[in-house]
Structure 1
Amino acid sequence: MSKQNDEDIPSRRRFLQQTLSIIPLAAAGGGLVSFAGQATSATSAGVSAHYVPTFFNNDEWRFILAAVDRLIPTDEYGPGAVSEGVPVYIDKQMELPYGYGHLWYMQPPFADAAPELGYQSPLAPRDTYRRGIKAVNDHCRQFFAKEFAALSQQQQESVLRELESGKLTFANVPGALFFAQLLDNAKEGYLADPMHGGNQTLASWKLIGFPGARADYQQTMDNPNKPYPLGPVSISGKRSV
């Protein structure tokens, strides 16, 4: 891609470029994302009205839809997490080895430690979601008389920022841990191949100029600092519009 100064790159595109540069398409890390532009409520191309979650119950599903819509909203730079199917991606992950915590060592002792030393929580991702969503909804009912999904966008963002900072935490699940997992999974789903449930229109790949599963880059390598001329292609052969 052509080089640009950071200040010339819209915040949403810069976030995705930085995310892709430090992680594979299954991502981790980062803080609450503030995108330029006013988010709009997304009609879902990715989250079908007929999709039935396999892990999340109705209350949890409403929370996931609302929360990821605030983390990666639809704006002038493209579709957001909900319309790209990120909630579907997260729901599917909960029934895979990742959701059960089978991909890493999960035996005691558990301790506060740097991320480089590995996952330290005794909670598998599915347990973190189940406890975290209930705790946040209970908190919102106590202070706002509504569950999280029924709050205004400003109130939702305030709750998410309190989780991120650790100001809002709970006895049975650390608020910051819950937020970090939610954001990690939202970014993963938004940048993943559509076969995993998210990025259904390849919008994120198109936004950052990632060509996807194309097999031949020789012509591009012979012409550095020029945008790749073709749209992205998924593993299954799906192409962006």
Structure 2
Amino acid sequence: QAVMGVQVVVSLLAASVMQKMAPHCSFARWLLCNGSLHRYKHPSEEELCALAGKQRPKAKRDRRMNGVTDDKPLSVPRDINLRLDTSPITAVDALVLRYFLEYQWFVDFAVYAAAVYVFTEGYYCLADPQKETNIGVLWCLLTVVFSVKVFFTVMRHYFRSEEGGERSVCLTFAFFFLLLAMVALVIREDYLEFGLEPGLASVSSNLEGILKQRGWEWTLPLAKLAFKLGLVALCSFLGACLTFPGLRLAQTHLDALRMAADKPLTQL
């Protein structure tokens, strides 16, 4: 009998490949730097002066020789005909973005988790192991946990901002989803069928025997209440975490549709 099963070996192999290949081959980095996204180049001072009809700014050495020591900022009119050049986004450009490394690691982990899950499902279909735990499900659960962590990091960044009203929006949506979750729990399952009550009844029946043996059967209603309160708090937290990513994604989608108004195929 082998010390490690096939799933453990594949999981260790996937983790090792992910660690070794991430600096050289990254699916997340390819998504941003495959040439489909472009950035605008910043114009030089010479171009701005030429469009504004001003003289070219002198070098610091010439200004010191002429007795000019103060560095006045260059001001140009707002109505100049300025056309910015575009350039494909490269990995060097993406590295300066906030949370790019977290994004790259999470997307790569999700890709490897999907590969491990597909392998384990195929392994279960072909070999039909009875005494082995499906490690692919564990990889999927870790992906969900890490996604919540990334969302929480982004929400914390917006929550710390003192300008723009991000903190108020986060709190507003947190209370909104809290109220929505409480309403969903109050409504009977004849109208909203989540399957929560049958599952909770099954868990309660299993816990009842264990609690009666120790004389703690009085804690069963408290356990039910704590579970529901925890579920409501989790829904409120997830709603607050998904607020700003959802709003920014919707705004980006609208901007993309507006920019591709004359390209129906691109809009699809």
TM-score bracket, normalised by the shorter chain, equals under 0.3
Q: What is the TM-score with the length of structure 1 in the denominator?
A: 0.21
Judging by fraction of residues, say which structure has more helix: 2
Q: What is the TM-score with the length of structure 2 in the denominator?
A: 0.20
Larger Rg: 2
